[in-house]
A and B are shown apart, each in its own frame.
Chain A
């Protein structure tokens, strides 16, 4: 671990700094600021990756995401996008790369939802809901899965999802609608 990276300037790096302020320091090579950003967002990125690519590869994807953030840090511009939006864009791109590389993708390989499973509403309060929902989401297209994850799991607005995915708002609305309808059918 590189603790020597704490520069005199980074001594003022603190928990209450905004992501954008930290990212400006990261752009100057401040690894302490980068560590704080990673700590702040790692759970959400791992969670997003679990939903989109699956739990087995989620941590690898999260590592890729933050390494990409570091190497491409000069590409972020505070006036263009909130750091969180940019981070999710990097994450979604890495997830899609991983899906396309590892799994050329056949819906036939998707695990079936157990027929005798209790109704989804009864399971809401149980931890297994996450597992069941992940299995159901594998029935969605890659884009539907991404849109649903960002909108419901990450609580982003449809406009933010559109910006992250590089799509028009009405395209995202269509993905959300079809994805939700499909999930309702699969989880019924």
Chain B
């Protein structure tokens, strides 16, 4: 530790080495052992510390009582002491029920059916048409008059 560092630490922390950062105390003590100038600076700092630490005169007994009474007399009334507060029923605050966050629908309907609905309708129509065509292509014993009476048969006729 240099004498300049030592003086700077004296100015910062005063001459009570127990108040100095732990890592600097031993260096300071070594310097004090070696340097007369450091010892002089240390002695002056101790005297200045004593001046700074001069106590303000204590209040005398009567003044302390008067001041304490004045403080106690002027305490604001506690509208609701803590114990009473604890005993009070908790007012129920009605809060709007939060809307549940929309959960991703991972069912088969969402993933397969709904997005492909037009395709499914198309397939259904095609299936019906193919079925009718097959039916119409096969020989059957239904009378032409009966066949003509129904729509399916009408389509079958067109298919011939």
Mark A residues whose CB is within 8 Å of B: 1-2, 27-29, 31, 34-35, 38-39, 42-43, 46-47, 50-51, 59, 62-63, 66-67, 70-71, 74, 120-121, 123-124, 127, 129-130, 133, 148, 151-153, 155, 157-158, 173, 176-177, 180-181, 183-184, 187
* A121 to B49 Cα, complex, angstroms: 10
Which residue of chain B has the shortest Cβ distance to A175 in the bound complex?
A: B12
Q: Is the CB of A129 within 8 A of B51?
A: yes
Query: Chain B binding site: helix, strand, loop or mixed by DSSP?
Result: helix
> Other CB < 8 Å A-B pairs besides A39-B64, A177-B12, 9 of them?
A46-B56, A46-B59, A46-B67, A123-B51, A130-B54, A130-B56, A148-B52, A152-B49, A180-B14
With contact pairs A155-B53, A180-B48 given, residues A35 and B14 touching in the complex (Cβ less than 8 Å)? no
Chain B: number of interface residues, binned into ranges: 20 to 34
Number of A-B contacts (CB under 8 A): 107
Q: Which residues on the B side are within 8 Å of A71 (C-beta)? A: 76
Asked if A176 contacts B72 (CB within 8 A), the reply is no
Report yes or no: A1 in contact with B51, Cβ–Cβ below 8 A. no
In the complex, whether B74 has a CB less than 8 A from a CB of chain A is yes
Task: Please report the C-alpha to C-alpha distance between residue A27 and residue B53 in the assembled complex, in whole angstroms.
Answer: 33
Given A43-B64, A158-B19, CB of A127 within 8 Å of CB of B47: no
